[in-house]
Amino acid sequence: MLVYFEENSKIWKSSMLWAHCSMIKVMLNVENNQDIKAPDDKYLMFKVVAVMGILGACRREELCQIS
C-alpha cells in the first residue's frame, strides 16, 4: 500500500490520496474484517508527523527536528 500511495502522490493531490485511503480502509474492513488503524499509544508521533508533512506545514529538515 505504501508503494501505491507513494507512486500516486506524484500525480494526485493530497485530497485525492486521502479519499482513496479511506475507500481502501473501508473495503478492507468490510470485505476481510481487517482494521488498519494504528493505536495512538504506539504510533501517535508518526501520525502527527505524517499529517504535518502531507499538509505541508513543515519542511523536511523541520520534520526531522520534531521532538
Grouped pLDDT means (10 residues each) for the chain, 67 residues: 83 86 84 78 81 70 73
Q: Are 21 and 49 contained in the same domain?
A: no
Residue 38 has φ and ψ, to the nearest 5°, of -105, 130
Count of structural domains, the chain: 2
Helix (H) or strand (E) holding 51: helix 40-54
Q: Are 29 and 44 contained in the same domain?
A: no
Residue 57 has a pLDDT of 64
Q: Are 42 and 26 contained in the same domain?
A: no
Amino acid letter at 42? K
Residue 48 has a pLDDT of 78
Q: What's this model's pTM, rounded to 2 decimal places?
A: 0.50
Handedness of CA 12, 14, 19, 21 (dihedral sign): positive
E-only strand ranges, the chain: none
Of 53, 61, 47, 1, nearest in space to 27 by CA: 1
Domain span at residue 49? 38-67
Residue 56 has a pLDDT of 66
Q: Are 27 and 48 contained in the same domain?
A: no
